Amino acid sequence: MKKTGKPAKSTKKTVAKKAVKKKTVVAKKAAPAKKALTVKKAAPAKKTAKAMKNVTRIPIKTVDLKIASHKGLFDEGCYGSQCQDECCGWGCDIDYATIKLILKNRDKVEALTGAKVEDCFKTPLKVDDDYVGGAYRETAVRKSDKLCCFHLKGSKGCSLFYLWIKEKLPKRIVPTICRTYPVTWHRGKLFADLPLKKNCKAKEKTPKGVKVASLFETQKKELKALFDIPKKEWKKLEDAVKANSK
DSSP H or E run through 245: helix 231-245
Confidence of residue 44 (pLDDT cuts 50, 70, 90): very low
pLDDT digits (tens, 9 = 90+) for 110-135: 999 999 999 999 999 999 999 999 99
Find which of 50-54, 124-128, 194-198 is predicted with most confidence, using mean pLDDT.
124-128
Q: What was the pLDDT predicted at 81?
A: 62
pLDDT digits (tens, 9 = 90+) for 67-103: 999 888 765 555 556 778 888 999 999 999 999 999 9
CA distances from 13 to 23, 118, 183, 200, 229 (A): 15, 30, 12, 15, 22
Stretch among 2-6, 25-29, 56-60, 147-151 having the lowest mean pLDDT: 25-29
Supply angle C-alpha 55, 159, 148, rounded to 5: 80
Candidates 203, 143, 174; CA nearest to 79 is 174
Query: Phi-psi bin for 223: left (phi > 0), alpha (psi -120 to 50), beta?
Result: alpha
**Entry pTM:** 0.75
d(CA 175, CA 97): 9
The chain-wide mean pLDDT, for the chain, equals 80
Confidence of residue 246 (pLDDT cuts 50, 70, 90): confident
Neighbour-count burial of 243, counting CB atoms closer than 10 A to its CB (0-12 exposed, 13-18 middle, 19+ buried)? exposed
